[in-house]
Amino acid sequence: MIYLDHAATAPPSRAVLEAQWPYLTQVFANPSSAHGPGRAARAGLDAALAEIAGVLGCRPGEVVLTSGGTEADDLALLGVAAAAPRGRQVVTTAVEHPAVLETARALGAGALGEPFRVDEVGVDGDGVVDLAALAAVLTPATTICSVMLANNEVGAVQPVREVAALCRAVGVPLHVDAVQAPGQLGVRLDDLGADLLSVSAHKLGGPRGAGALAVRGAVPLAPVIHGGGQQRGRRSGTVDVAAAVGTAAALRLAEEGRAAGAPRLAALRDRLVAGVLYAVPGAVLTGPAVDARLADGSPARLPGHASFVFPGFGGEAVLLELEERGVVCSSGSACAADSDDASHVLLAMGLGADAARTAVRLALGPSTTPEEVEDVVRLLPEALAAAGGAALLPA
């Protein structure tokens, strides 16, 4: 199998599993218990929090462990909105993951009493947020601004530092959904200028159902999950120490591997994109070009991310034909895989509804080899022809 669905989830990492093993077997006590075994679990938890904080550029006490990226995103928006509603306005972008977009919309529909105003700022044809439009809706009364670091469907990297400067100018807390970024981009709060930042372990070979929200100490945050007051009252429930250790190991390994791994991924992606566009002249790369740069000179596209539309042909049919040939990938988002809806990201980028239903995402990861990329370049035109897409191929 050629696995090109790393943006949906990554294969489990052996090193992460080995780091978790003692905490899944011997060190099993409740880290809130005062006895020796409890203190041993607490020590493992504290070490994990310190490791996560090291990668995210914050203090260990600023890390809230969650059940993954979705809960981290929900907690960021709902937690800030409940603690400091201010002018009851949420600013976000039209291309966020549903974990942010639907939470913002729930606030807009009155999830916390009087409805919030929600501004979903538009993007350009590459999926990059319109900074002028964002600046126009931010006010000193805005409750929270949430902008993703990198888009899961089209790989677009957002100019988060510039967004942070706009937010700072009006004193608005900035939440960054960085779930797609570790191992490919830096994810330090201090570098990005973020006040809150979400990560998820399973995108990095860590445990499924585990992640974290980093929250600057100065940002008021009300809990969403109430109970015994664990995690300084910000997220109750007995902490899963093994999941925390796994999240920490996955993040640390991703960050340690980034300097060598990101350029390697970019080179593989460049070959994949060039190969596909040559072999399938009718294909369209969605999101930023592979050599596009943000204003600060950094890459505008995630190194490991390639995404296409095949106008006129069902993306699902192409995916099935690719799988017949041993290539596993998905349309823009795993969450949308079982719905017929056109991608909200591609629609926001200005694609027509028909084209927005034909997305194919090829998401590379640390295990991807040059041989696999060559195989995909060879197999994709075959799969497309079998799916009825011969018109997109060279005559």
> Does residue 211 touch ligand PLP according to CB under 6 A?
yes
CA–CA gap between residue 316 and residue 387 (Å, rounded): 9
Could you count the other beta carbons within 10 Å of the beta carbon of residue 136? 11
Binding pattern for the stretch 18-57 against ligand PLP, x by CB under 6 A and - elsewhere: ----------------------------------------
Using Cβ positions, the residue closest to ligand PLP within the complex turns out to be 69
CA–CA gap between residue 302 and residue 355 (Å, rounded): 22
> Does residue 254 touch ligand PLP according to CB under 6 A?
no
Name the minimum Å distance from CB 76 to ligand PLP. Answer: 11
Q: What is the DSSP letter of 113?
A: S
Residues with a catalytic annotation lie at 335
The tokens for 307 are: 């995404």
In terms of Cα–Cα distance, which of 16, 72, 1 is closest to 243? 16
> Does residue 74 touch ligand PLP according to CB under 6 A?
no
Sheet architecture: strand order including 305-309: 284-285, 305-309, 359-363
> Does residue 200 touch ligand PLP according to CB under 6 A?
yes
> Does residue 152 touch ligand PLP according to CB under 6 A?
yes
> Does residue 101 touch ligand PLP according to CB under 6 A?
no
Candidates 32-40, 42-50, 63-71, 341-349; binding stretch for ligand PLP (CB under 6 A): 63-71
11 contacts: CB under 8 Å, gap ≥ 6: 3, 205, 365, 367
The tokens for 77 are: 């928006």
Are the C-beta atoms of residues 150 and 192 closer than 8 Å to each other? Answer: no
Candidates 21-29, 118-126, 174-182, 349-357; binding stretch for ligand PLP (CB under 6 A): 174-182
CA–CA gap between residue 285 and residue 268 (Å, rounded): 15
Name the minimum Å distance from CB 346 to ligand PLP. Answer: 15
> Does residue 85 touch ligand PLP according to CB under 6 A?
no
**Which residues of this chain interact with ligand PLP, rule CB under 6 A?**
68-70, 73, 97, 99, 148, 152, 177, 179-180, 200, 202, 211
